[in-house]
């Protein structure tokens, strides 16, 4: 059985998923990218392969350490992918978007797929049945919206996300929760319906750390998987072996 470490360094958290062959086993949240932290993962899991998706500035020494002990791949626009990217400036496509697109193709090959990532931002990513990533859109994520209302007003507080709130808010906190979470749910449904008016018979895949707040409020049928990005990283690692 072969172990693969899939690293996802986002704007909010540093994470690593452990795969045994194609099976997702566990997720590790990292405090930092120091050599000691990475070496501990290598010593614990003895991975044969590793892959990194990063949208932050991380130390190059970390890549060298992984390359020394594993078959290492850094995801970028020059990576071999199970899809094509016929969009302008492919080098500007975020590694996280490439990963969830790869997962969509791996899970639903030769199908039209709309893959939605709920993280710091919401990304909408459309891949057709010829495995062409056509692009999509980006909008502010949940915590970004909460922070914006707090930081750009004099009196609105910074609230923490909560799954329990009414449609009609009865105080400032519940007004903010209803506005952000229900507002985003309606945005997601609206984008799906806009695609449905243009394309027929496509899968909708939803992932990201904030996914659980929105699934109960969506009316469209979706395939929800919190580990979708990791599964895409694994597929790309396998593709580049």
pLDDT bracket for residue 76 (50, 70, 90): confident
Mean pLDDT of 81-104: 86
- Beta carbons within 10 angstroms of residue 82's beta carbon: 18
Furthest-apart CA atoms within the chain: distance in Å:
57
Alpha-carbon distance values, 156 to 2, 24, 150, 151, 153 (Å):
51, 41, 5, 8, 6
Which pair of structure tokens corresponds to residue 236? 């790309």
Q: 121 pairs with which residues across the strands?
A: 140
pLDDT at 85: 87
Catalytic residues: 96
pLDDT bracket for residue 57 (50, 70, 90): confident
Which pair of structure tokens corresponds to residue 90? 């492919």
Say yes or no to pLDDT of 89 above 80.
no
Say yes or no to pLDDT of 92 above 90.
no
For 192-205, the pLDDT digits (tens) are 999 999 998 999 99
pLDDT bracket for residue 30 (50, 70, 90): very high
Mean pLDDT of 214-233: 94
Say yes or no to pLDDT of 59 above 90.
no
Say yes or no to pLDDT of 176 above 90.
yes
Alpha-carbon distance values, 162 to 104, 177, 227 (Å):
29, 7, 21
What average pLDDT does the structure give for the chain? 94
Say yes or no to pLDDT of 93 above 90.
no
Q: 224 pairs with which residues across the strands?
A: 206
C-alpha–C-alpha distance, residues 49 and 228, integer Å: 19
């Amino acid at each position: 059985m072969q172990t693969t470490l899939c690293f996802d360094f986002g704007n909010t958290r540093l994470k690593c998923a452990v795969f045994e062959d194609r099976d997702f086993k566990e997720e590790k949240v990292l405090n930092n990218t120091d050599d000691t932290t990475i070496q501990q993962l290598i010593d614990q899991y003895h991975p044969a392969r590793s892959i990194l998706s990063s949208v932050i500035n991380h130390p190059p020494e970390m890549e060298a350490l992984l390359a020394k002990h594993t078959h290492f791949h850094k995801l970028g626009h020059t990576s071999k992918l199970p899809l094509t990217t016929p969009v302008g400036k492919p080098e500007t496509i975020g590694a996280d978007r490439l990963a969830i697109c790869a997962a969509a193709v791996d899970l639903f090959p030769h199908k039209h797929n709309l893959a939605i990532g709920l993280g710091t931002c919401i990304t909408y990513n459309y891949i057709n049945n010829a495995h062409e990533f056509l692009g999509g859109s980006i909008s502010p994520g949940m915590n970004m919206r909460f922070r914006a209302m707090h930081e750009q007003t004099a009196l609105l507080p910074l609230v923490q996300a909560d799954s329990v709130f009414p449609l009609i808010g009865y105080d400032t906190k519940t007004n903010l929760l209803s506005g952000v979470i229900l507002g985003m749910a309606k945005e997601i449904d609206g984008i799906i319906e806009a695609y449905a008016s243009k394309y027929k018979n496509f899968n909708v895949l939803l992932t990201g750390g904030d996914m659980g707040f929105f699934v109960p409020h969506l009316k469209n049928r979706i395939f929800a998987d919190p580990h979708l990005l990791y599964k895409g990283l694994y597929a790309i690692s396998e593709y580049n072996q």
